[in-house]
Amino acid sequence: MPNNLLDWKYRLSLHRDVTGATAEITQPLSLSFDIERTTQVTPNQANFTVWNLSESVRKAFEKMRPMDYSKSNDNKTTNYGMDDYCSVIFTAQRADGIECVLFKGDLVQCGSNRDGGEWETAFDCSDGYFAMKYGSMNGTYDKDAFSKNKFEMEAKKWKLAFEMNAEPVKNPIPITVNEKFQKTLDWAFPNSWYIDNGTLITGNPVNPQVYLIDGSRIAKTPKREENVLKVSCMFTPEPKLGNILEIDSSENGNMGQWEIAGINHKGEFPAGDLESEFTLIPPGAKFHE
């Protein structure tokens, strides 16, 4: 894993489904980011700020915002998560050409403000936002209805991939579902689902990858909070939720292997500090903040 800040380059890409409009921001433009991802059911959050875009570019980005039909004057009832959707992908590319996806989700808000002599354009994003806010499953199902195909189709409708590592519960009698997508997932996969980088995931990853974080990368002394270990280190975007980190601290020695339950990447390209913080739990444990 590269240690040098100059080894990394960023790419922020947006695509709006209805219009087909696309936009992209790359270096040398200055960009700050703060990305929070966890294995909890709440949507992951990402905030990006870009400085000194031209007026025409600022207006183009503001037009990428999805229209909220609930606030329109013509009483449209269409769920705009399906019909007016803007996807966001933020990546960091290493010097060897390998690109890591730090965030993949939905654009919720975009706007520009002037601060002194500089313009700031802010992007507020959320992972699985529209699926959790507007998605629902309707109908009567028998005991085998909650198959992989059912959830795969529902996830696809809301622009989500689907990775099933845990089987849905079985019900001995037919059930009627007319609930928000999130409530249905809570029922079908109790305490065993989350959304990360545009993918609906049930259960823990199969054969998770193991990464070593040694003393040369650790920025602060690892901090224990009950059954959770917090590790701040140099920018390390390769590990994913559910992967395993082996922590070899200069101060505490080898602290063993831990499962990644939370990730926070933040910093500023191209010349600011970049850092990563991992929230770790014993493998197989449940994460509760």
Largest CA distance in the chain: 66
Interacting residues of 3 by C-beta distance below 8 A, sequence separation 6+: 216, 217, 234
* Mean pLDDT, 10 residues at a time, the chain of 289 residues: 65 85 88 95 92 88 66 44 76 89 92 89 90 78 71 86 87 70 85 91 87 87 86 93 88 83 94 90 77
**Which residue in this structure is represented by tokens 């870009």?**
50
**Residue 117: CA count within 13 A, CB half-sphere:** 0
Positive or negative torsion for Cα 200, 109, 76, 56? negative
Interacting residues of 15 by C-beta distance below 8 A, sequence separation 6+: 21, 22, 86, 87
d(CA 50, CA 209): 33
Tell me which fold the domain 210-281 belongs to: Elongation Factor Tu (Ef-tu); domain 3 (2.40.30)
79 Rama class: left (phi>0) / alpha (psi -120 to 50) / beta: beta
H helices of 113-228, where? 129-134, 148-157, 181-188
Quickly count: other Cβ atoms within 10 Å of residue 206's Cβ: 8
Using alpha carbons only, what angle is made at residue 86 by residues 95 and 24, rounded to the nearest 5 degrees? 35
Looking at residue 103, its pLDDT comes to 96
d(CA 96, CA 93): 8
Looking at residue 68, its pLDDT comes to 53
Helices 148-157, 181-188: crossing angle, 10 deg rounding: 160
Looking at residue 283, its pLDDT comes to 87
**Residue 45: CA count within 13 A, CB half-sphere:** 5
Domain ranges of the chain: 5-131, 135-193, 210-281
H helices of the chain, where? 55-62, 80-83, 129-134, 148-157, 181-188
d(CA 235, CA 5): 8
257 Rama class: left (phi>0) / alpha (psi -120 to 50) / beta: beta
Element at 257 (helix H, strand E): strand 253-269
d(CA 8, CA 80): 35
